[in-house]
């Protein structure tokens, strides 16, 4: 079998690439996805279809370590913490099919910084048309929003907010933070509703928004339950893939291979294919096709903590109420990075962990570092494609990162002293009073409990060939190779100051447009 283009991974970027590239009837596309496929909305399992309004549906049932819809990754967060669970979707639609549907853009400075690093086609001005092309904003109609794109975006109205979100907004405004009705406006900061890509509780994944309307195209082949083991080459040119389907291996050929498997699986596949740090590959006996030291390095994420509150007995805890309504975006003291911090309340929270489906005890307020100084790394430990790479996020190794996240915890404690919170909170469960006796005690608690915000990125960094850590150029083409691209969150030079959901979709839209132009 042979195609013009093989796309590996049907997630936030890959599904969009498949839909856009097959607009040309003369281009044949094979879309490979390691997870299952549910071709219609009605066939989606409940835990995938509903983004809220079902017990545990926010993360636990769809993302949980034993689900067939996720990869089940484990990772190191800090040397003093137990291993953490890293949710990544393994299903048509990728993580857009199982995430919390927060539809938040980065600040313009994020993308302008990418352009300044030698990726001039990735400035905010260059990307704004693709943000608009992607979205169907149901609340705002202006030059910064799209209103007829494949992915709906809307915000819960204030009368729909649960009591803890109402208290959060009141406390933040009383503390002097500005009102932010549209968190996706370029100059926005402060407290306000989060946009979500769901409609009546349904996660509007790229499988629903992009793939389902084009499945009938004769030049698009979709193959689920297909794990790609490696890319194969003739010299420096990628010519095909070795793929496992129903336990059998086969080779499929194409003029061009596009790896869109995500910030963990994409570098994992490149390493198995002989592209990455030469010394690491040789230690495992993998023939080196291209020595690229940056593959698997520069692992970026948003580290977060859970401040857990037990609510008073007369406060209703209702799974049918949306859990993520509001957020405060602000700039840490002493920081030159605008909106480098975020606080997000999460309703109906169990005491154990954010991925638990246990009965709720109250709610969390989640402080998260939205532009870290530190980074982690990813490495192969086996030549078996089924074995996950080692993941070390290296959270809070940088003093400035600890200072800012510590400030975020103490800011939450100040907000909780507002009368609106005192009326609904019975007790604080974490951190304890002992954890708050000093900065050193709080740092120790943070290092034991810091975890992922599910925004892994930057492991196949985009940049010019003069950057020794760059893996791809601004068109997604792998340096030193022909016929091979990477198109997903892994090519971000740094994580953006927002959830990665929207930006990864825009990466798919942007590179699809560049490919259609012949780049």
Catalytic residues: 455
Gap between the Cα atoms of 42 and 422, Å rounded: 43
Gap between the Cα atoms of 136 and 186, Å rounded: 17
Task: Say which residues have a Cβ less than 8 Å from residue 160's Cβ, sequence separation at least 6.
Answer: 321, 322, 325
Q: Of the candidates 512, 474, 479, which has an alpha carbon nearest to the alpha carbon of residue 491?
A: 474
Partners of residue 196 on adjacent β-strands? 102, 154
- Encode burial over 91-117: b for 16+ CB neighbours within 10 A, e otherwise: bbbbbbbbbbbbbbbbbbbbbbbbbeb
For 479, left (φ over 0), alpha (ψ -120 to 50), or beta?
A: beta
DSSP for 223-283? Answer: E-SEEEEEEEEETTEEEEEEEEETTEEEEEEEEEEEE-S-TTHHHHHHHHTTEE-HHHHHH
User: In the structure encoding, which two tokens stand for residue 5, read together?
Assistant: 């283009």
Gap between the Cα atoms of 488 and 469, Å rounded: 17
Q: Are 310 and 425 in contact (CB under 8 A)?
A: yes
User: In the structure encoding, which two tokens stand for residue 414, read together?
Assistant: 């100040």
CA distances from 107 to 333, 350, 497, 503 (A): 18, 32, 6, 11
- DSSP 8-class letter at 340: -
Cβ neighbourhood burial of 125 (10 Å; 0-12, 13-18, 19+) = exposed
Q: Are 97 and 411 in contact (CB under 8 A)?
A: no
Gap between the Cα atoms of 331 and 107, Å rounded: 12
The sign of the dihedral angle between the CA atoms of 330, 98, 364, 452 is negative
User: In the structure encoding, which two tokens stand for residue 31, read together?
Assistant: 């879309």
Q: Of the candidates 58, 81, 34, 82, which has an alpha carbon nearest to the alpha carbon of residue 348?
A: 58
User: In the structure encoding, which two tokens stand for residue 497, read together?
Assistant: 């100051």
């Amino acid at each position: 079998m042979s195609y013009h283009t093989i796309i590996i991974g049907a997630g936030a970027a890959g599904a969009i690439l498949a839909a856009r590239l097959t607009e040309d009837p003369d281009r044949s596309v094979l879309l490979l996805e390691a997870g299952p496929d549910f071709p219609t909305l009605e066939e989606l399992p409940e835990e995938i279809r509903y983004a809220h309004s079902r017990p545990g549906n926010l993360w636990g049932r769809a993302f949980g370590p034993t689900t067939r819809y996720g990869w089940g990754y484990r990772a190191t967060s800090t040397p003093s913490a137990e291993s953490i669970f890293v949710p990544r979707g393994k299903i048509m639609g990728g993580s857009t099919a199982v995430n919390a549907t927060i539809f938040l853009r980065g600040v313009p400075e994020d993308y302008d910084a990418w352009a300044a690093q030698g990726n001039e086609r990735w400035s905010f001005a260059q990307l704004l048309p693709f943000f608009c092309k992607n979205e169907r904003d149901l609340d705002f109609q202006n030059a910064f929003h799209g209103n007829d794109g494949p992915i709906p975006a809307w915000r819960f109205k204030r009368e729909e907010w649960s009591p803890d979100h109402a208290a959060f907004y009141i406390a933040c405004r009383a503390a002097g933070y500005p009102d932010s009705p549209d968190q996706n406006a370029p100059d926005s900061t402060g407290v306000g509703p989060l946009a979500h890509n769901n409609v009546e509780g349904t996660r509007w994944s790229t499988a629903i928004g992009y793939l389902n309307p084009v499945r009938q195209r004769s030049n698009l082949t979709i193959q689920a339950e297909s794990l790609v083991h490696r890319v194969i080459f003739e010299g420096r040119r990628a010519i095909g893939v070795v793929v496992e389907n129903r336990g059998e291996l086969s080779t499929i050929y194409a003029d061009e291979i596009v790896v869109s498997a995500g910030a963990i699986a994409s570098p994992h596949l490149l390493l198995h294919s002989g592209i990455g740090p030469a010394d690491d590959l040789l230690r495992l006996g993998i023939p080196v096709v291209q020595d690229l030291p940056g593959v698997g390095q520069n692992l970026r994420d948003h580290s977060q903590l859970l401040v857990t509150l037990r609510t008073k007995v007369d406060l209703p805890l209702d799974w049918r109420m949306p859990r993520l309504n509001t957020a405060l975006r602000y700039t840490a003291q002493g920081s030159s990075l605008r909106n480098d911090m975020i606080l997000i309340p999460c309703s109906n929270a169990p005491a154990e962990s954010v991925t638990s489906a246990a009965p709720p005890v109250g709610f969390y307020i989640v402080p998260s570092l939205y532009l870290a100084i530190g980074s982690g790394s990813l490495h192969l430990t086996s030549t078996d494609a089924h074995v996950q790479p080692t993941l070390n996020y290296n959270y809070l190794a940088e003093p400035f990162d600890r200072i800012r996240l510590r400030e975020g915890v103490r800011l939450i404690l100040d907000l909780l002293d507002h009368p609106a919170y005192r009326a609904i909170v019975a007790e604080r469960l974490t951190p304890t009073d002992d954890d708050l006796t000093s900065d050193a005690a709080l740092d120790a608690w943070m290092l034991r409990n810091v975890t992922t915000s599910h925004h892994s990125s930057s492991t196949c960094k985009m940049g010019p060939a003069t950057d020794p850590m760059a893996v791809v150029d601004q068109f997604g083409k792998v340096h030193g190779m022909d016929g091979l691209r990477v198109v997903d969150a892994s090519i971000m030079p740094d994580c953006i100051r927002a959830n990665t959901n929207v930006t990864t979709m825009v990466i798919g839209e942007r590179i699809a447009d560049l490919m259609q132009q012949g780049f």
